[in-house]
């Protein structure tokens, strides 16, 4: 495998030097801040990532105030008590994107968040206690117990909530493959995800960097060399 130092140097050259690259890196995630997130904030982010999947993010963002009202502020308790008529009504609610499967995922995920909060004090505390060295295990749990939270959706949810993890985006996977990791062009199997996890664990040990920083450097080291302004406009530059 290529040493991470080599990958970082390549990213620095592409972005204009060490200082320029440093400005593009996120701060190290704060587990204490994550633990303080309310369960409504967790469910809201879950919902946003589910609806953004395969859809224009800008449309979801523009309609988000309507989502918040339609889904009762994303409070898991009240949502789990709503009858079928409430959810049927949302299928016709113009305040939101009327995708039946995604709307019903909110109902399921409200129960998921509530159950985990009962087990751990809050969903944020549960996430804060889960080690970055086992992101693969966390993603498996999200896929099994949550609704529509598998794959990239779960990864992006964790990223936006402030959990310290990698994202298996096109450029990150391209970087890993270029470095010598034997994985498919699209990481979907448990086998490939385990390999990615092991490599990020090794790089974290080697560099002392957070997983989100390692992932970002990987993405910036290869593929389309976007400007800093373009990266900001993309929102998620991996």
pLDDT digits (tens, 9 = 90+) for 82-101: 999 999 999 999 999 999 99
pLDDT of residue 225: 83
- 121/183 same-domain check: no
- 128/62 same-domain check: yes
- 18/63 same-domain check: no
pLDDT-derived band at 224 (thresholds 50, 70, 90) equals confident
Q: CA torsion, points 56, 37, 114, 55, in degrees to nearest 10?
A: 0
Question: What is the CATH classification number for the domain harbouring 125?
Answer: 1.10.340.30
- 150/198 same-domain check: no
How many separate domains does the chain show?
2
Cα four-point dihedral sign 182, 186, 191, 192: positive
**What whole-number distance in Å separates Cα of residue 134 and Cα of residue 155?**
13
- 84/143 same-domain check: yes
- CB atoms under 10 Å from CB of 194, counted, come to 13
**What whole-number distance in Å separates Cα of residue 89 and Cα of residue 91?**
5
- 156/113 same-domain check: yes
- 74/145 same-domain check: yes
Asked if residue 230 has pLDDT above 90, the reply is no
pLDDT of residue 110: 98
Residue-number span of the structural domain to which 100 is assigned: 32-161
- 148/36 same-domain check: yes
- 71/144 same-domain check: yes
Q: Return the closest-CA partner of residue 153 out of 141, 163, 138, 143.
A: 143
pTM to 2 decimals?
A: 0.93
- 25/39 same-domain check: no
Asked if residue 20 has pLDDT above 90, the reply is yes
Which residue bears the tokens 């204490």?
A: 32
């Amino acid at each position: 495998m290529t040493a991470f130092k080599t990958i970082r140097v390549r990213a620095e050259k592409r972005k204009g030097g060490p200082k320029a690259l440093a400005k593009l890196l996120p701060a190290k995630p704060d587990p204490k801040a994550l633990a303080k997130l309310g369960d409504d904030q967790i469910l809201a982010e879950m919902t946003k990532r589910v609806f953004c999947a395969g859809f224009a993010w800008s449309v979801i963002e523009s309609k988000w105030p309507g989502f918040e009202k339609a889904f009762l502020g994303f409070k898991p308790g009240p949502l789990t008590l709503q009858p079928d008529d409430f959810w049927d009504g949302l299928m016709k609610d113009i305040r939101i994107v009327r995708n039946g499967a995604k709307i019903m995922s909110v109902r399921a995920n409200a129960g998921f968040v509530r159950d985990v909060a009962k087990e751990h004090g809050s969903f944020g505390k549960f996430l804060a206690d889960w080690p970055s060295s086992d992101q693969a295990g966390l993603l498996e749990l999200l896929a099994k117990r949550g609704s529509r939270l598998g794959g990239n959706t779960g990864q992006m949810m964790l990223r936006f909530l402030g959990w310290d993890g990698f994202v298996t985006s096109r450029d990150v996977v391209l970087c890993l493959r270029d470095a010598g990791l034997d994985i498919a062009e699209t990481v979907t199997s448990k086998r490939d995800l385990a390999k990615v996890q092991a490599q990020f664990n090794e790089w974290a040990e080697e560099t002392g960097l957070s997983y989100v920083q390692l992932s970002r450097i990987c993405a910036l080291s290869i593929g389309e060399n976007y400007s800093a302004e373009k990266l900001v406009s993309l929102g998620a530059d991996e």
